[in-house]
Amino acid sequence: MELKVLNIKGEDTGKTVSLNDSIFGIEPNDHAIYLDAKQYLANQRQGTHKAKGRSELSGSTRKLGRQKGGGGARPGDIKSGVRVGGGRMFGPVPRDYRFKLNKKVKQLARRSALSYKAVENLITVVDSIDFAAPKTKDFVAMTKNLHIADKKPLIVLANDNNNVYLSARNLQRVNVITVSELNTYAVLNSNSLVFTEESVAAIEQIFNA
């Protein structure tokens, strides 16, 4: 698949870039995408939720009523979960939500997500993205020139660029990452992918390593 290479003004540079079919042209595997996205979201969870059980509360253990004849449930102490102010029954406890996913499955998921975007013609390639200084208005101008201002763009750079990151930081629905940070969820959560020529080459190098 060949795409025209534009500059940040939206002008055709006369160059083209070929997207590797083994990365951007495979038959997508929806289950692999589901597993990788699920793992990514699970890894974002802190898992620090906690509620106190009856054994963790302070209070008397005296039985507050007789066992039978009260007309209701068997009464326990004041820390019982059925009483107001009592402990939480089967409450949440800290846990780790992370789970293992094979490297080949994650790679298949990323290839599948990129292939979906390629089929939908949601990929744009520019020669380079750089600003002399961090300016949000310059970044907004670039998105308008590339006709992605009304979308949710994902900008993929080959290396860290502080000026680009700071220029986009205040904009909602805009995400700037490097090739090493590229993940299935970020690709699926965007409506437009913008690569530089260097980032396309870096992606091919990573996937074919």
- Write out pLDDT tens, residues 91-135: 999 999 999 999 999 999 999 999 999 999 999 999 999 999 999
Which residue, among 205, 177, 198, 201, has the nearest Cα to 189 in the 3D structure? 177
Question: In 3-state terms, the chain is what percent helix, strand and coil (to 5)?
Answer: 35, 15, 50
The contacts of residue 107 (CB under 8 Å, 6+ apart) are: 207
Q: Which residue has the tokens 């042209």?
A: 25
Q: Give domain limits for the chain.
A: 2-45+98-207, 46-96
pLDDT digits (tens, 9 = 90+) for 43-70: 999 999 999 999 999 999 999 888 899 8
Quote the mean pLDDT of the chain.
Answer: 92
Which residue, among 187, 161, 162, has the nearest Cα to 175 in the 3D structure? 187
pLDDT at 24: 92
d(CA 152, CA 191): 5
Structure tokens at 13: 């540079």
Looking at the DSSP assignment, which residues form a beta bridge with residue 125? 5, 195
Does the pTM surpass 0.75? The reply is yes
The contacts of residue 88 (CB under 8 Å, 6+ apart) are: 51, 52, 53, 81
What's the pLDDT band for 209 if we cut at 50, 70, 90?
low
Burial of 142 (0-12, 13-18, 19+ CB in 10 A): buried
- Dihedral angle sign, alpha carbons of residues 49, 52, 55, 58: positive
Given a contact cutoff of 8 angstroms between Cβ atoms, the answer to whether 167 and 174 are in contact is no
Residue 48 CA from chain centroid, whole number: 20
Given a contact cutoff of 8 angstroms between Cβ atoms, the answer to whether 158 and 165 are in contact is no
Q: Which CATH class is domain 2-45+98-207?
A: alpha beta
pLDDT digits (tens, 9 = 90+) for 25-45: 999 999 999 999 999 999 999
Q: Which residue has the tokens 């089929």?
A: 119
The contacts of residue 156 (CB under 8 Å, 6+ apart) are: 177, 178, 179, 182, 193, 194, 195, 196, 199, 203
